[in-house]
Amino acid sequence: MRAFRLRAVLAVSALSVTGGLLAGCSSSDGDNDAGATHGDGTVNKVAGASEGPSAAPSALADGMGSDTAADGVFPRTVTHFEGTTTIKARPEKIAVLSTGQLDDLLTLGIVPTASTRAENAGLVPDYLADAFPKDKKKLAAMTDAGTRTAPNLESLAAAKPDLILVNDSLGDLYPQLSKIAPTVVTAGQGINWKRDLLLVGDAVGEGQKAQELLDGIVGNAEASGSALDGRTTVSMVRFTPDRTRMFGVSSFTGSIAVDMGLSRPASQRFNAISQDISAEKVDTADGDWIFYSVQGDAAKTDAATVLAGPLWKSLKAVEAGHAVQVDDDPWYLNAGPTAARLVVRQLAEHLR
């Protein structure tokens, strides 16, 4: 993670807080890994850990959170991954810079005033637009604050937020962001989606509501999973322009499989985010079911050739009609409560 931040520091030295695009650090996408090298067999680890957790942490990290347990009480001081921030009044214009935070706020009933976006994508993923149609006009009015890897601080400052939310992958920008507005830094990465929801809830004065939402999602996952055959193995695969990956236990969707009590293929029972696989070894990702996604244009990934090839067609999941293409955004790119609900629902619908 420190290597990520060094790039951010170098970028800041070239630009003022309100000037142009800030060339940031590595992607803050939900399940992008902490490493910079990719290739067949490369294991992509959780940032700062040699081994990731076997389940998504369901409580705030030690010492993190607000100094008041009651919702709606301000001022409040929030301890987060870059220090402490005092929020004097209930924030009305919130900016979200990192993956999962737009999902968090919308699920809590709040529409941000500014947001970043994934590369070559709009501000609002389709799954969130579909889930919150009543917020369509407000979402369309959000300020575009650049990409998640390179937030545009000039646009951000112009939006005049009274609270900024950002993941720790951009933590070295904290001093600059704090000059624009009070800033709270969450952990980031998909495996931390639960504790990030709780910290976001604390920051906006909705900590109890966030806990209730989380309890409901986890309870539903457990109930949905209990109605399924836990022996059925579920494989998770993502095709992107730079590589193909199968996902491990310490990923967003991997953590949902844990909550549902689902089995994983032996090749995916590792405590990391994902493992790169070549087109020639895609059979290592076989299972009773395969839930795969393609980011963007399939022709720019291995998917175009792999899905049409004899090796893929020979997989037992494919032969059984159990290979399901899913929406890349909620399954493998974003990580938040509404995405979690969708993944649980789709897993249950297919596996029952």
211-224 b/e with 16+ CB inside 10 Å = b? bebbeebbebbeeb
pLDDT of residue 71: 97
Contact between 206 and 337 under an 8 Å Cβ cutoff? The reply is no
Label residue 305 by pLDDT band (50, 70, 90).
very high
Task: Write out the two tokens for 273.
Answer: 């985010």
Question: CA 143 to CA 5: how far, in whole Å?
Answer: 25
- pLDDT at residue 3 is higher than 70: no
Distance between CA 169 and CA 192 in Å, rounded? 13
Distance CA 127, CA 345 (A): 13
Span 73-98, average pLDDT: 97
**Count of C-beta atoms within a 10 Å radius of residue 54:** 13
**Model confidence pLDDT, tens digit, residues 316-337:** 999 999 999 999 999 999 999 9
Report which of residues 349 and 118 the model is more confident about. Answer: 349
Geometric angle at alpha carbon 168, from 67 and 159, rounded to 5°: 80
The pLDDT of 335-341, averaged and rounded, is: 97
pLDDT digits (tens, 9 = 90+) for 206-259: 999 999 999 999 999 999 999 999 899 999 999 999 999 999 999 999 999 999
Give the span between the Cα atoms of 238 and 274, in whole angstroms: 10
Mean pLDDT (the chain) is: 90
Structure tokens belonging to residue 237: 């695969």
CA angle 278, 317, 255 (to 5 degrees): 75
